[in-house]
């Protein structure tokens, strides 16, 4: 199972910040959020984002 962590701008009127989505290979939402925040910290505007609830995605073998 893959976790999708999505970060959006704290200010709803801000259109210059695009949503950031990270796919993390875990089924623990707390671990996914912490890893997502670690990845977001690489962005210089990381303090302008807030996290949405973690979404779980099923991956099927092809």
Q: pTM of this prediction?
A: 0.86
Name the token pair of 58: 């099923």
Q: Which two tokens stand for residue 40?
A: 């977001």
Tens of pLDDT, residue by residue over 44-59, are 889 999 999 999 998 8
Q: Is the pLDDT of residue 62 over 50?
A: no
Closest by Cα among 19, 21, 27 to 3: 27
pLDDT tens by residue, 30-45:
999 999 999 999 988 8
The pair phi, psi for residue 41, each rounded to 5°, is: -60, -15
Q: Which two tokens stand for residue 8?
A: 């959006």
Residue 35's φ and ψ, nearest 5 degrees, are -65, -40
Share of the chain above pLDDT 90, in %: 73
């Amino acid at each position: 199972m893959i976790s999708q962590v999505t970060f959006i701008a704290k200010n709803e009127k801000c259109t210059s910040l695009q949503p950031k989505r990270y796919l993390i290979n875990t089924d623990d939402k707390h671990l996914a959020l912490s890893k997502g925040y670690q990845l977001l910290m690489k962005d210089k505007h990381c303090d302008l984002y807030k996290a949405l609830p973690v979404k779980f995605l099923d991956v099927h073998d092809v």
